[in-house]
Each structure stands twice: as structure tokens, then as C-alpha cells.
């Protein structure tokens, strides 16, 4: 059984200079957040190709999730600077993703966070530990004062994860998305950097 990362949380944030750019690595328990590698495509497609994941994400996340989708995703993640998309790595395999959408103009100190994890790893505290680690990293790396997320109504697992990662529920955006053939509410959760 995987050790519960929340209990073990050993956070080591490293930025290593590679080929003129930075790669990120945060260790928590026996999992880590790290930069994507081109070789992750097989594992990415295996775990991402799941309707139970797609149903909780924007339509930008494809379903079915093909090899080409995986290659494009990793190429983009490797190109965008600053680096904002990271693999959730368990035992050396990329089994999920967490990333930030940096906001602009007067919202430039805010970012939206999005994440998913392969179904076989659900319920072990990995999502919570990944969000906590990523939030801590993002606040420093992008100089943020606010990180928010917009889970769809009924996504109880994600709401639990956000609450455990010290995000507060702020409001409900009624019928603000059209997903899977129906209008749905989004819940706005945010983490605010104090001080």
C-alpha cells in the first residue's frame, strides 16, 4: 500500500537548471511533482483516457485521450515559460497532472489551478498532497496572492481536496458551464496568501 503522503509530507522544492531552463521537482512522501518528459506519453494516455476524469474537467481535456493528445500536451508543457504544468509522479510514472493558469492585468497575482489523478490512485491522499505542494511552490515561483479552483457541482472529491489544502469556498457560479450535455454550477474555491 502507498504510504499516505499527507502524513509523510516531506517537501523538498528544487529548481535545477537544465539546458538553460528550469525543471521543477517537489518530493512528498513517495510521490513527486516534476516537469513532464517526452517519455511520459504512454503513462499519460493510459491514465488520462478515462471518462470519469473527463467529466470533471473542461472540454479542452480530450476524450478519448489519444497518443497525439498526449504528445501535444507534453510538447506544450515543455515549451510554455514559466513552466506551469507538472506531472504527478508515483513510483517513477506520470499518473496525473497539476497545473496553473496565470491570470493577467489587475488579476496578475492570481492563478487558477487544475488537476487530475489516475483513477487507480484515488482515495490515498495523493491529490491533497499534490495540491498542497503545488500551491506552496506556485505562491513563491509566480509571486501569487491568490490561487483558485472551479470544481463542477457534484465533484465532492475535488471539494474535499480543496478544503484540506486550505482553500475556502467563496461562492457558487450558477449554470456557468455546459458540460456533458447539461448546464452545471461551478463552485469557486480560493487560497489566499496571508500577510
Ligand X SMILES: CC(C)(COP(=O)(O)OP(=O)(O)OC[C@H]1O[C@@H](n2cnc3c(N)ncnc32)[C@H](O)[C@@H]1OP(=O)(O)O)[C@@H](O)C(=O)NCCC(=O)NCCS
Instruction: Quote the CA–CA distance of 22 and 33 in Å, as a whole number.
Output: 14
Q: Which of residues 135-154 bind ligand X (CB under 6 A)?
A: 149, 151
* Strands 146-149 and 110-117, sheet pairing: parallel
Which of 13/157 has CB closer to ligand X? Answer: 157
DSSP string, 119-178: GGGTTSSHHHHHHHHHHHHHHHHTT-SEEEE-PBTT-HHHHHHHHHTT-EEEEEEEEEEE
Is 29 one of the binding residues for ligand X (CB under 6 A)?
Answer: no
Identified binder of ligand X from the candidate list 161, 167, 190, 191, rule CB under 6 A: 161
Is 7 one of the binding residues for ligand X (CB under 6 A)?
Answer: no
Q: Give bridge partners of residue 31 from the DSSP assignment.
A: 28, 90
The span of 41-49, 119-127, 166-174, 177-185 binding ligand X (CB under 6 A) equals 119-127
Residue nearest to ligand X (CB): 127
The span of 21-29, 32-40, 65-73, 116-124 binding ligand X (CB under 6 A) equals 116-124
Instruction: Quote the CA–CA distance of 39 and 11 in Å, as a whole number.
Output: 25
Is 191 one of the binding residues for ligand X (CB under 6 A)?
Answer: no
As measured in angstroms, the least distance from the Cβ of 12 to ligand X is 20
The span of 22-30, 39-47, 79-87, 158-166 binding ligand X (CB under 6 A) equals 158-166
Instruction: Quote the CA–CA distance of 90 and 2 in Å, as a whole number.
Output: 9
- The answer to whether the CB of 164 falls within 8 A of the CB of 128 is yes
Contact footprint for ligand X (CB under 6 A) = 53, 56-57, 115-117, 122-128, 149, 151, 155-158, 160-161
Amino acid at each position: 500500500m502507498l504510504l499516505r503522503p499527507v502524513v509523510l509530507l516531506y517537501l523538498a522544492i528544487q529548481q535545477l537548471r537544465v539546458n538553460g531552463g528550469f525543471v521543477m521537482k517537489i518530493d512528498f512522501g513517495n510521490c513527486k511533482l516534476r516537469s513532464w518528459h517526452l517519455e511520459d506519453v504512454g503513462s499519460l494516455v493510459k491514465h488520462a483516457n478515462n471518462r470519469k476524469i473527463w467529466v470533471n474537467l473542461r472540454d479542452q481535456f480530450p476524450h478519448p485521450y489519444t497518443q497525439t493528445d498526449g504528445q501535444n500536451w507534453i510538447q506544450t508543457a515543455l515549451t510554455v515559460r514559466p513552466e506551469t504544468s507538472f506531472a504527478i509522479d508515483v513510483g517513477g510514472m506520470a499518473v496525473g497532472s497539476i497545473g496553473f493558469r496565470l491570470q493577467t492585468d489587475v488579476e496578475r497575482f492570481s492563478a487558477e489551478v487544475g488537476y487530475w489523478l489516475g483513477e487507480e490512485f484515488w482515495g490515498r491522499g495523493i491529490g491533497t498532497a499534490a495540491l498542497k505542494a503545488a500551491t506552496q511552490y506556485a505562491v513563491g515561483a509566480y509571486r501569487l496572492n491568490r490561487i483558485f479552483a472551479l470544481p463542477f457541482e457534484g465533484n465532492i472529491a475535488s471539494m474535499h481536496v480543496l478544503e484540506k489544502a486550505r482553500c475556502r469556498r467563496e461562492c457558487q457560479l450558477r449554470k456557468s458551464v455546459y458540460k456533458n450535455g447539461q448546464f452545471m454550477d461551478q463552485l469557486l474555491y480560493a487560497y489566499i496568501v496571508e500577510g
